[in-house]
């Protein structure tokens, strides 16, 4: 006997939305407020019959450019005209890599607001283009900073257990 399970078609509250969709509500670039039937980028009412997320391909692409790593990376390079942004850097054109100005902190290369091209109003986030050498320099410095933070956390934990004994 087939049991008919009534499925909730529309997520009504933010918590039921997949994280990536919920993030579009808080994203500083999208105008979407979370309302069903409106474009997740520009918040206009979607009129296209087969469309559910974006009102147009243009809006879908605009979102991709800021949230999907491979698109964000190529727009960052195009914006920098394929040159390292460090003043006086003599690296060849196209010897360029894209760096997250703010370390990704485990967010990885999966889609999300951590790939925004420009830093937000508070100066957080953003992408920059660097040559291989300058990028390596930054990556190494970040690794050192992470190691220092870990070491400090260990020392603090140690100090805490010592005082509680
Ligand atoms: Zn739109
Ligand atoms: Zn975003
Ligand atoms: Zn450089």
Ligand nearest the Cα atom of residue 63: 2
In angstroms, what is the span from residue 38 Cα to ligand 3's centroid? 43
pTM summary value? 0.79
For residue 132, which ligand has an atom nearest its CA?
3
Token pair listed for 3: 């049991």
pLDDT for 13: 55
> Residue 165: its pLDDT value, please?
61
115 Cα: distance to centroid of ligand 3 (angstroms): 21
Query: In this predicted model, what pLDDT tens digit does every residue of 74-90 receive, in sequence order?
Result: 999 999 999 999 999 99
* The predicted structure's pLDDT at residue 128: 96
Q: What is the pLDDT of residue 108?
A: 80
Residue-level pLDDT at 159? 87
Distance 99 CA to ligand 2 centre (A): 17
Give mean pLDDT in consecutive 10-residue pieces for the chain, a chain of 165 residues: 47 71 95 96 96 97 97 97 96 95 82 94 92 95 91 90 72
Q: Show contacts of 82-89: CB within 8 Å, 24+ apart.
A: 82/129, 83/129, 84/129, 84/130, 84/131, 84/134, 85/128, 85/129, 85/130, 86/130, 86/131, 86/134, 89/131, 89/134
Are the CB atoms for 59 and 42 separated by under 8 Å? yes
Ligand 3 centre and the CA of 45: distance in Å? 45
């Amino acid at each position: 006997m087939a049991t008919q399970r009534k499925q909730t078609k529309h997520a009504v509250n933010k918590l039921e939305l997949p994280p990536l969709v919920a993030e579009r509500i808080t994203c500083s670039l999208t105008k979407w407020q979370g309302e069903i039937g409106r474009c997740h980028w520009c918040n206009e009412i979607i009129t296209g019959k087969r469309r559910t997320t974006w009102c147009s391909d243009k809006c879908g692409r605009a979102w991709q450019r800021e949230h999907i790593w491979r698109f964000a990376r190529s727009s960052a390079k195009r914006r920098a005209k394929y040159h390292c942004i460090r003043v006086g850097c003599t690296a060849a054109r196209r010897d360029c890599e894209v760096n997250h100005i703010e370390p990704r902190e485990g967010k990885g290369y999966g889609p999300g607001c951590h790939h925004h091209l420009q830093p937000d109003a508070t100066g957080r986030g953003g992408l920059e283009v660097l040559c291989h050498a300058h990028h390596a320099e930054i990556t190494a410095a970040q690794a050192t900073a992470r190691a220092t933070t870990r070491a400090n956390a260990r020392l603090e934990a140690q100090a805490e257990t010592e005082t509680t004994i």
